[in-house]
Structure 1
Amino acid sequence: MAQTYLTTEELSARIKYDPRTIRDQLKDSVLLEGCHYFRPFGGRKILYIWEVIEDDMTKAISSTLNQIPMARGGVAHV
C-alpha cells in the first residue's frame, strides 16, 4: 500500500486548518509522532502520513454519530 506524505502546508490545505494551528495545537496532542507523522533522516522536517490522518478523522466522526451528549459530560448511546 502506497502512503502519501505531506508537509505541514500540504496537510493544511487538505484539512482546512492554518499551518500554525497544526504545528502549535494539533502536533503532539492529536497528531502523534510515529503514528501520524515522522521526521525523515532524523531531521527537523516533518512529513505527515495522509492515510492514517484521514482514517482517524473518519473514525472520530462515525463513533460520535450514534451518541447524545449529556449534561455532565457523558454520552447516551442510541
Structure 2
Amino acid sequence: MQTYLTTDELSARIKYDSRTIRERLKDSVLLEGRHYIRPFGGRKTLYIWEHIETDMARVKTNGPVSIPMSSGGRLHG
C-alpha cells in the first residue's frame, strides 16, 4: 500500500515550503511516475511518500570527496 500526499502534506513532512516543492523540486528531483502522479489525468498532484522517503535517504556517492576552490580547482580529501 502506498501513501499519497498533497503538496501541503508533503511540505509538512519534509520541511520544505509548498512553493519550493512545486517550483524547484518537482520535475527536477521529484519525477512524475516515480515520486508523484496526476490521478485521472487531472491537474491535481499526489506525491508517493514511500518513494520520496527511500530516495531522500539514499546517499549519493560520485567518488572521492572534493571541495571546490575559488581558483576553480578542487581540494581532494
> What TM-score does the superposition give when structure 1 sets the normalisation length?
0.80
Letter in 1 for 2:26: K
Alignment of 1:7-26 (within 5 A): 7-26=6-25
Partner residue, 2:56: 57
> What TM-score does the superposition give when structure 2 sets the normalisation length?
0.81
Instruction: Write the distance in 1 (CA, Å) between the matches of 2:75 and 2:33.
Output: 31
Runs of 4+ in 1 over 3 A off after TM superposition: 70-76
Deviation of the 1:68 alpha carbon: 2.5
| Higher Cα radius of gyration | 2
Deviation of the 1:29 alpha carbon: 0.3
Q: Which has the higher helix share?
A: 1
Secondary structure at the counterpart of residue 51 of structure 1: helix
How many residues were matched structurally? 72
Structure 2 gaps of 5+ residues are none
Alignment of 1:1-78 (within 5 A): 2-60=1-59, 63-64=60-61, 68-71=65-68, 72=73
CA-atom RMSD in angstroms: 2.2
Structure 1 gaps of 5+ residues are none
